[in-house]
Amino acid sequence: MSRFQVVSGKGGTGKTTVAAALALALATEGRRTLLVEVEGRQGIAQLFETDALPYEERRIAVAPGGGEVHALAIDAERALLDYLQMFYKLGSAGRALKKLGAIDFATTIAPGVRDVLLTGKACEAVRRKDKQGSFVYDYVIMDAPPTGRITRFLNVNDEVAGLARIGPIHNQAQAVMRVLKSPETAVHLVTLLEEMPVQETADGIAELRAAELPVGRVVVNMVRPHLLDEDALRTASGGRRKEIAKALTRAGVTGSAGLVRPLVTQAAEHAQRVGLEREQRAVLAGLGLPMAELPLMGEGVGLSALHELAEEFRKQGVGDETADAAGQTPRGGRPRGSGRGVGS
């Protein structure tokens, strides 16, 4: 499985949660993962119930088997100053640039520079090795911008490489693009079983493919339980209301007569929903991508729910294929990192 896992999805589909659960799931068996955030919302900190993340990598959770999840909120401005420092030893000149508004310009206005910095920082983490030559992180998981912007976000380096035709930004952009377009990367799209998110997912996949970016899985999130058989429901809405009323009374429900109609109505709504979900499932199946499904977490997602979702990912084999995929991934114990070169 690819070492750089990018998680996108329509707004409201829970991509941050999915990214976090994935980071946990991939951290089992002593692996180390890095979960990165690029939109400055501090969604990861909220999920893991920790303080706001600074611009520095820190451990935020442990996974079963001694794995670790680290997190980083990438800040474009800091990343830019890092680069300047790295390339030019700028020091105080960096502050001068900031005062002039140059940093602001570069990180918020200049086309694409911001995105280059964000993806660049993430790719740096993907490629980083320790002194022994092992990868510092087995996986880097990115909570990426939403589906509508993901292709542009990832592909911006191409554009920037074209705009800035020489210089470090150009080189950086090209290096990032090599990682992003390689099998080293997988872009997952999170959706719900609803029409608009599914449509957007289909569109997003088409865009990613057109840009030759590697599409990973479709993750169906917040899947609700199917509690009742539709055919049974059809019967229910038919002639069995009196029987149902009697059954309710037998079960100790008082005033059952008035309840039958609303109960049957709710069931009909449920059936309609199930039907719509089935249609959307068929559409998703037609996309021909591997899928994963996560259940709806009733009480909202906190730390314990995250672990449950991670477990769900593992049950569905997300992360195993990893190990199977050409032995690319390290397995087992503490010594992290496979030491496999990936090159960029």
Q: What are phi and psi of 143, to 5 degrees?
A: -80, 95
Could you give the CA distance from residue 148 to residue 223 in angstroms, rounded to a whole number? Answer: 22
In the complex with other proteins, which residue's Cβ is closer, 22 or 297? 297
CB of 287 to other proteins, least distance (A): 9
| DSSP-assigned beta bridge partners for residue 63 | 67
> Which structure tokens are listed for 149?
């912007």
In the complex with other proteins, which residue's Cβ is closer, 62 or 253? 253
Q: Output the CA–CA distances (angstroms, integers) from residue 135 to 31, 101, 337, in the order listed.
A: 11, 37, 4
In the complex with other proteins, which residue's Cβ is closer, 228 or 342? 228
CB of 113 to other proteins, least distance (A): 8
In the complex with other proteins, which residue's Cβ is closer, 62 or 86? 86
CB 42 within 8 A of CB 178: no
Question: Cα angle vertex 168, ends 116, 156, to 5°?
Answer: 25
Question: What is the pairing mode between strands 215-223 and 185-191?
Answer: parallel
CB of 117 to other proteins, least distance (A): 11
CB 274 within 8 A of CB 193: no
Q: How many residues does the structure list for the chain?
A: 344
In the complex with other proteins, which residue's Cβ is closer, 130 or 276? 276
CB of 139 to other proteins, least distance (A): 19
CB of 335 to other proteins, least distance (A): 28
CB of 207 to other proteins, least distance (A): 14
Q: What are phi and psi of 110, to 5 degrees?
A: -60, 130
Could you give the CA distance from residue 99 to residue 240 in angstroms, rounded to a whole number? Answer: 76
In the complex with other proteins, which residue's Cβ is closer, 167 or 332? 167
